[in-house]
Amino acid sequence: MPPRADTQGLTESHIGSWLAKGGRRERIVLATKAAGPSSDPKRPGHIRDGKVHFDRANLTQALHDSLRRLQTDHVDLYQLHWPDRSTNYFGQLDYPWQDDAPGSVAIEETLRVLQDFVAAGKVRAIGVSNETPWGLAQFLALAERHDLPRVASIQNPYSLLNRSFEVGLAEFSHREQVGLLAYSPLAFGVLSGKYLDGAQPQGARLTLFDRFTRYTNPQAEAATARYVALARERGLSPAQLALAYVNSRPFVTSNIIGATTLAQLEENIASAELTLDAATLAAIDAIQQAIPNPAP
């Protein structure tokens, strides 16, 4: 961070080097993504020389580049990082009433490309990310109508500061078996409480990179303070409270944790053994009702 041309793809390369040591590939579920187009100047324009629509040429290059870096012949889950159309995601609330950008690719066309990847054995399952209820509905309907690959998962934000997935998308998880891969469950670390009262811990993500403001508005800070206080009242780690809540949701398939240190990693993993009682869940809902979704 921030994304740069000279570091793009390094995560895949590091994982590929680890996989190449042998005996690991069959033991893991390997997932990666194809980045989509964006007019936002904050997002990188160097990926595939800016040719990032979800058409056959661009997706084929994206997949093959990923397979090469990962040193494998297939990925278990291949995801579309964000929609190839004009819509609201990454915390944007106001729907953009405008035509799609030139070059935007129809969902059916994208699905037919992904179908060929699956048929060739290069992709086992497909997923979407930062997707809307309308978009997910289209993917599912087109897959059923034309016998195309069915979306297996959706990777969207979900945390105590952003429970918007519960409205519109959670029902898809229940009725269509499209599980949520919840990202930013700690809201960039904010829900650990380490940034409260203006603190800027050395080496922390939001200390290093001021481009991230999604979870730092006054409402989010006020809600965080209440969640941290609740955790301490219950004798819990604030981070574990936040992660255990995400773990408890029936629509969550995977809780995507992140850590800088081994101690953080151990704390995060231990949340899987924590079950929140009814009183704690009710207290969480009371905070949500008082300060609903402060960081969508």
pLDDT score, position 42:
57
User: Could you give the count of Cα atoms lying within 13 Å of 252 in the half-sphere of its Cβ?
Assistant: 20
pLDDT tier at 14, thresholds 50, 70, 90: very high
pTM (2 decimals)?
0.94
pLDDT tier at 49, thresholds 50, 70, 90: confident
Long-range contacts, stretch 84-93, CB < 8 angstroms, 24+ apart: 84/36, 84/37, 84/53, 84/54, 84/110, 85/135, 87/132, 87/134, 87/135, 88/132, 89/130, 89/131, 89/132, 90/130, 90/214, 91/157, 91/214, 91/295, 91/296, 93/296
- At the top level of CATH, the class of 1-155 is alpha beta
SS3 295: coil
Q: What is the spatial distance between Cα 242 and Cα 223, in angstroms, rounded to a whole number?
A: 12
Task: Give the pLDDT confidence of 85-105 residue by residue, as tens digits.
Answer: 999 998 888 899 999 989 999
Question: pLDDT > 90: what percent of the chain?
Answer: 82
- Domain assignments of the chain as residue spans, ordered by start: 1-155
